[in-house]
Amino acid sequence: MNTNQTSSPAVGIDDIAFATGANRIDLAELAGRFGVEPAKYYVGLGQSEMSVPAADEDIVTMAAAAAAPIIERHGSDRLRTVLFATESGIDQSKSAGVYVHRLLGLPQAVRVVELKQACYSATAALQFAAALVARNPEETVLVIASDVARYELHSNAEPTQGAGAVAMLVAADPAILELETATGVYTQDVMDFWRPNHSATAIVDGKLSISAYQDAIEGAWADYRSRGGADFSEVDHFCYHQPFTKMAIKAHRHLAKSLGSERTQEELDAQIEPTTGYNRRIGNSYTASVYLALLALLDGDDDLTGRRIAFLSYGSGAVAECFSGIVRPGYRSALRSDANRARLDARTVVDDARYLQLLEDAASADVHDSDRPRETGAPFRFAGVVGDRRQYEPTSA
Ligand code: COA
């Protein structure tokens, strides 16, 4: 028996940063083409804009851009693992994380792997990362969630596209959020959203996906509670997966009702509102969206020190997980709030015609060898495809 056991160290999110596409389209542009009121998207879906990648951006360039400031700040001496979560992978075999590993100049003594389960897999990555760090608190793990959300053009799902990446450094004695150990999980085989190998866009049964999401969240919460998780009333903020921000409001009302919470609708909505600011302007970023909700909350005016945040992560198909964390004292000094807000404003505004052209162009880039035009102002670019080999380089090259 080991008689030298010490209490396990706090493990959690030590740094967090994001990146998104170079362009943005106001959803009023889509409302015009669809012949509906902009309010359907602004109010009905809770979305005002969506990010559109430049011709030389994709999940790899966004992931590297999100992770670069983290590596710059912390170095890579303690980094042992990169977990890349995505559901819009650019290869059936090679992990997108391996390209990021080279672009960031990471050491060879690092394991890299890609994880997939619709919008959920970054949460699996975070839990796997926490377990690795708990086993060896000297090591750190880089978790990256990066996705370009694509649905069939002119379908009802098109206004819920978007693009973004979040990178998180998981470490012992974290600067931002200590993860609590209780987690609740839920899996059920349901065909609400999937993307067969032959298709560049996802197939979705939108209404089924909303009810499957709510069922899964309820199941994950029940499991979280049965494993010692906090009571609903003990949670200060809730970060939900946000395919569109209204979904988080719907899910939160649904969960509260199922638990018999006495909180009013206004109180419930106020718990979600501070988590929606970034997703409302980026659109669906699939795996990244629940962590963009966290980043928006952290970057807000409220002092969150010591507060408990619950996470409700959902991935169609379907898997959900509920877990929680406590915000660490001094967390603000680890944030990049001004730069985060400025990044959203700095995107180039495109109209519907330019947006449609960018989508068409991106679809052909995956099929044919081609050079990509120089467009992005991000630190890394997708230069094109040569002999079926994707080429990535620093934008300054
Ligand atoms: N002003 C304000 N609200 C309006 C409006 C207007 N002029 N017109 C419509 N709305 C509201 C509707 O009442 C509805 O709100 P409610 O659900 O709270 O009642 C909302 O806007 C959306 O309208 P709806 O007709 O349901 O939209 P849709 O059928 O065109 O598509 C989705 C909505 C979400 C199903 C579709 O975008 C989709 O499939 N998205 C991808 C899948 C997805 O994101 N799933 C989420 C779980 S993962």
The whole-number average pLDDT for the span 275-301 is: 98
Catalytic residue among 241, 252, 321, 322: 241
- Beta-carbon count within 10 A of 236 CB: 17
Does residue 211 have its Cβ closer than 6 Å to ligand 1?
A: no
Whether 53 and 21 have beta carbons less than 8 Å apart is answered as yes
| pLDDT (tens digit per residue) in 166-204 | 999 999 999 999 999 999 999 999 999 999 999 888 899
Catalytic residue among 29, 49, 57, 87: 87
- Beta-carbon count within 10 A of 223 CB: 18
User: pLDDT-based confidence at 28, cuts 50/70/90?
Assistant: very high
The Cα 49–Cα 45 span in angstroms is 11
Whether 137 and 9 have beta carbons less than 8 Å apart is answered as yes
Q: Can you give the pLDDT at residue 138? A: 98
Q: Dig out the tokens for 11 from the structure.
A: 């493990």
| pLDDT (tens digit per residue) in 329-371 | 999 999 999 999 999 999 999 999 999 999 998 888 777 788 9
Whether 68 and 97 have beta carbons less than 8 Å apart is answered as no
Answer yes or no: is pLDDT of 45 > 90.
yes
**What distance in angstroms lies between residue 45's CA and the mean position of ligand 1's atoms?**
6
Would residue 306 be called left, alpha or beta, if left means φ above 0 and alpha means ψ between -120 and 50 degrees? left
Does residue 209 have its Cβ closer than 6 Å to ligand 1?
A: yes
HSE-CB for 238 with a 13 A CA cutoff: 32
**Cα–Cα distance list, 160 to 2, 198, 226, 245, 247 (Å):** 53, 22, 34, 10, 11
The Cα 244–Cα 239 span in angstroms is 13
Q: For residue 194, what is the DSSP state?
A: E
User: pLDDT-based confidence at 6, cuts 50/70/90?
Assistant: low
* Bond from prior residue into 54 cis (ω within 30 degrees of 0): no
pTM, rounded to two decimals: 0.97
393 is catalytic: no
Residues above pLDDT 70, as percent of the chain: 98
Q: Residue 336 belongs to what H/E stretch?
A: none
119 is catalytic: yes
Which position has the token pair 């395919």? 243
Residue 250: partners with Cβ closer than 8 Å, 6 or more residues away: 210, 214
Does residue 43 have its Cβ closer than 6 Å to ligand 1?
A: yes
| pLDDT (tens digit per residue) in 94-106 | 999 999 999 999 9
Which position has the token pair 């990146």? 19
Question: Which strands form 23-26's sheet, in the order they lie side by side?
Answer: 49-52, 23-26, 348-349
**What distance in angstroms lies between residue 44's CA and the mean position of ligand 1's atoms?**
6
**What distance in angstroms lies between residue 101's CA and the mean position of ligand 1's atoms?**
39
Q: Supply the mean pLDDT for the chain.
A: 96
Residue ranges of domains in the chain:
11-394
254 is catalytic: no
Q: For residue 51, which of 203, 279, 364, 368 has the smallest C-alpha distance?
A: 279
For the chain, counts of helices (H) and of strands (E): 12, 17
Answer yes or no: is pLDDT of 244 > 90.
yes
User: Looking at 89-93, 200-204, 207-211, which range is the least confident one?
Assistant: 200-204
Whether 312 and 220 have beta carbons less than 8 Å apart is answered as yes
Residues above pLDDT 90, as percent of the chain: 93
Answer yes or no: is pLDDT of 392 > 50.
yes
Q: What topology is assigned to 11-394 in CATH?
A: Peroxisomal Thiolase; Chain A, domain 1 (3.40.47)
The Cα 74–Cα 67 span in angstroms is 11
Whether 316 and 118 have beta carbons less than 8 Å apart is answered as yes
The Cα 142–Cα 169 span in angstroms is 5
User: pLDDT-based confidence at 3, cuts 50/70/90?
Assistant: very low
| pLDDT (tens digit per residue) in 114-147 | 999 999 999 999 999 999 999 999 999 999 999 9
Q: Can you give the pLDDT at residue 5? A: 46
**What distance in angstroms lies between residue 244's CA and the mean position of ligand 1's atoms?**
9
The Cα 129–Cα 146 span in angstroms is 17
Q: Can you give the pLDDT at residue 301? A: 87
The whole-number average pLDDT for the span 229-250 is: 97
Whether 27 and 159 have beta carbons less than 8 Å apart is answered as yes
Q: Can you give the pLDDT at residue 2? A: 40
The whole-number average pLDDT for the span 290-297 is: 98
Q: Dig out the tokens for 177 from the structure.
A: 């959020």
Q: Dig out the tokens for 290 from the structure.
A: 């629940």
**Residue 275, Cα to own-chain centre: how many angstroms?**
13
The Cα 185–Cα 318 span in angstroms is 11
